[in-house]
């Protein structure tokens, strides 16, 4: 196996200095067109592959933007990821991804690893972090964006929406359509802070409307998905019809509930309303269509990108908060 091909090798063949090769391979127009063509051709012939590591080292700019997500196995986060990834690609940046599995300690470890790669910005999901994480991020003076939430004390910039408000919209909608005995289906207390915010939003809104106490249906530890919603309802059985509305932490959970409820012979929406969260595909395709909240996962990604763009260009200097409003999407389950 031959050693790797470097600019020096290319330079030797072309009969020029490595500096010229460097210039020729970049968009540097101080190099003669003929020279450039020759350099590129030789580079191609020798199978030269640019070494970003060296560049990152020399220029002290990694070309990375670090992103943490609770999980990629979630169509919403995946959508945001895709938008950010595409946007950054166009800016010549690469995305460095880490998933926290919905745990802040894991996030801390991850942030440490990611920072070691010297990213040019850090994008975190959610507004809930360990003190060490906060210290790490702020100690570097690194542009930071929190997304998918509107934290009370942001680390830096924010692109998100209010989980609490979104839930208030749902509760208002249910009250308006005559529901009073609400139940919330979500993950056990603990890890998932966005889930917790949604739960709190429901409880709060129910109180505001003077409704009886909201029943809590535990779908197990986060992350919860279709099968957990399904199983939670199966565990309860027909008693689920004591409530007249199930407010689910997400569309997959709602679909799981819907399916289980239908198997039990409970009619939706006649006997029971069901709402989801996130405007996942399944909400629109299921039968009946699930009432949900569109959080514009892609829009969040796009806003993150345009924020980053502004930050790198220098046009954004002060902490900015972008509220990507969520909107209620009425379906057939309520």
23 binds DNA (CB under 7 A): yes
What percent of the chain is helix, strand and coil (3-state, nearest 5)?
50, 15, 35
Count of residues of this chain found to bind DNA when the rule CB under 7 A is applied: 29
Shortest approach of its own copies to residue 206 CB, angstroms? 28
Question: Of 13 and 316, which has the nearer Cβ to DNA?
Answer: 13
Shortest approach of DNA to residue 228 CB, angstroms? 42
Displacement of CA 53 from its chain's centroid (Å):
27
54 binds its own copies (CB under 8 A): yes
Figure out which of the listed residues 79, 107, 299, 303 binds its own copies, where binding follows CB under 8 A. Answer: 79
Figure out which of the listed residues 13, 35, 132, 264 binds DNA, where binding follows CB under 7 A. Answer: 35
Q: How many whole angstroms separate alpha carbon 75 and alpha carbon 148?
A: 14
Binding mask 47-76 toward DNA (x if CB under 7 A, else -) reads ---xx--xx-xxxx----------------
Q: How many whole angstroms separate alpha carbon 55 and alpha carbon 6?
A: 12
Q: Is 16 in a helix, a strand, or coil?
A: coil
CA torsion angle 268 270 271 272 (round to 10):
50
226 φ/ψ angles, rounded to the nearest 5 degrees? -50, -50
CA torsion angle 155 158 161 165 (round to 10):
40
73 binds its own copies (CB under 8 A): yes
Which of DNA, its own copies, none binds 22 (CB below 5-8 Å, type-dependent)? DNA
Which residues form the interface with DNA (CB under 7 A)?
A: 3-4, 6-8, 15-20, 22-23, 25-26, 29-33, 35, 50-51, 54-55, 57-60
């Amino acid at each position: 196996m031959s050693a790797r091909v470097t600019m020096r090798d290319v330079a030797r063949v072309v009969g020029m200095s490595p500096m010229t090769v460097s210039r020729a391979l970049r968009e540097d127009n101080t190099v003669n067109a003929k020279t450039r063509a020759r350099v590129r051709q030789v580079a191609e012939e020798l199978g030269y592959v640019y070494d970003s590591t060296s560049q990152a080292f020399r220029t002290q700019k990694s070309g990375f933007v670090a992103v943490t997500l609770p999980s990629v196995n979630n169509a919403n986060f995946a959508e945001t990821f895709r938008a950010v990834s595409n946007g950054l690609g166009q800016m010549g940046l690469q995305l460095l991804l880490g998933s926290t599995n919905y745990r802040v300690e894991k996030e801390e470890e991850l942030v440490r690893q990611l920072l070691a790669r010297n990213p040019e910005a850090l994008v975190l999901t959610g507004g809930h972090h360990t003190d060490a994480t906060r210290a790490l991020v702020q100690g570097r003076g690194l542009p930071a964006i929190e997304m998918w939430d509107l934290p009370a004390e942001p680390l830096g910039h924010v692109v998100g929406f209010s989980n609490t408000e979104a839930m208030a919209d749902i509760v208002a909608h249910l009250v308006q359509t005559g529901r009073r005995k609400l139940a919330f289906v979500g993950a056990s207390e603990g890890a998932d802070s966005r889930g917790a915010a949604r739960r709190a939003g429901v409880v709060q809104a129910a109180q505001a409307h003077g409704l009886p106490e909201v029943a809590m249906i535990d779908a197990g530890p986060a992350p919860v998905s279709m099968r957990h919603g399904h199983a939670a309802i199966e565990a309860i059985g027909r008693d689920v019809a004591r409530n007249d509305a199930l407010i689910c932490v997400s569309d997959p959970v709602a679909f799981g509930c819907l399916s289980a409820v239908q198997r039990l012979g409970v009619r939706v929406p006649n006997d029971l309303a069901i709402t989801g969260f996130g405007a996942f595909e399944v909400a629109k395709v299921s039968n009946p269509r699930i009432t949900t909240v569109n959080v514009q996962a892609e829009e969040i990604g796009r806003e993150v990108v345009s924020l980053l763009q502004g930050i790198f260009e220098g046009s954004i200097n002060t902490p900015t908060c972008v509220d990507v409003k969520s909107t209620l999407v009425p379906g057939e389950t309520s």
